[in-house]
Chains A and B, each alone.
Chain A
Amino acid sequence: MFDYVDFQHNAGSNSDRDLKLFALSTCGFCKKAMAFLEENALAYDYVFVDLIDSEVKNRIKAEFEERFEKKMLFPTLIVDDEEFLVGFIKFYWQKLAA
């Protein structure tokens, strides 16, 4: 999924799962989500969708909606292209670090 997206990569010692984070550069919970991933040494790819070409942004949202039948909110973390976490609710995100 999302092969056309120019992700940034954040290295971490735990790369067991493929993590793709879609975020807004202006959003507080997106920042918290990134801090959580980094504190837990989880490797992840990310993109700030408010800073990219709007056509690419719209393509991302359309692909997400087609795959998961939900509108994309931010932050959204896609795990192994199979499931996703939306919003930063630490209880759910902690399962990634278990």
Chain B
Amino acid sequence: MMEDKTTQDVEKFVRSVAEHKGWILNRDKDFIDHLVEGLRVNHNRYGFYQCPCRDSYGTREKDKDIMCPCVYAQADIDEFGQCFCGLYLSTGFYDDHDDIDGIPERRPEELYPE
């Protein structure tokens, strides 16, 4: 049985993703803490880091495109400076924005759960 993730595990995970991808984490600590908690909850629900901002099938096969970091994140960061959740940012966007809004969904509608 898979061991539950702790908040510290998830913080380490998101920092590692950001470092590996050359992204930067949002500076809004309350916002980040909420997303980290969402990722922790989802990991312990489904067994993988499912995007906390999208509805889920709850299966690795059908949710594979929205496992954090999702397959849409780089394109969103390139176009909008942030991923769909607002967790990961480009460095330029981070420098210029104190607050962020939502962005359009890039995931095709046909991949959404019925």
A residues whose Cβ falls under 8 Å from a Cβ of B: 24-32, 49-50, 58, 61-62, 71-74, 87-91
Complex partner residue of A88 from B56, B101, B104, CB under 8 angstroms? B101
CB distance from B72 to the nearest CB of A (A): 13
Query: Is there an interface contact between B101 and A24, defined as CB atoms closer than 8 Å?
Result: no
Q: A29-B85, A31-B31, A87-B101 are in contact. List 6 more A-B contacts (CB 8 A).
A: A24-B38, A26-B39, A29-B86, A74-B55, A88-B102, A91-B101
Interface size on B, residues (CB 8 A): 25
Chain A hits for B54, CB < 8 A: 24, 73-74
Q: Total contacts A to B, CB within 8 angstroms?
A: 66
- Main SS of the interface on chain B? loop
B41 on interface, CB distance cutoff 8 Å: yes
A4–B85 CA distance with the chains assembled, in angstroms: 29
Query: Is there an interface contact between B42 and A26, defined as CB atoms closer than 8 Å?
Result: yes
Chain B hits for A73, CB < 8 A: 54-55, 105
Query: Is there an interface contact between B53 and A27, defined as CB atoms closer than 8 Å?
Result: yes
Query: Is there an interface contact between A28 and B104, defined as CB atoms closer than 8 Å?
Result: no
Complex partner residue of A28 from B56, B85, B109, CB under 8 angstroms? B85
Binary interface encoding of chain B residues 22-39 relative to chain A, with 1 for a CB under 8 A from any of its CBs, else 0: 000000000100110111
Nearest A residue to B108 via CB reads A71
List residues 84-112 of chain B with CB under 8 A from any CB of chain A.
Answer: 85-87, 101-105, 109, 112
Query: Is there an interface contact between B53 and A26, defined as CB atoms closer than 8 Å?
Result: yes
Query: Is there an interface contact between B105 and A28, defined as CB atoms closer than 8 Å?
Result: no
Given contacts A87-B104, A89-B101, A90-B101, contact A28 B38 (CB under 8 A): yes
Query: Is there an interface contact between B55 and A28, defined as CB atoms closer than 8 Å?
Result: no
Chain A hits for B55, CB < 8 A: 24, 49-50, 61, 72-74
Query: Is there an interface contact between A27 and B31, defined as CB atoms closer than 8 Å?
Result: no
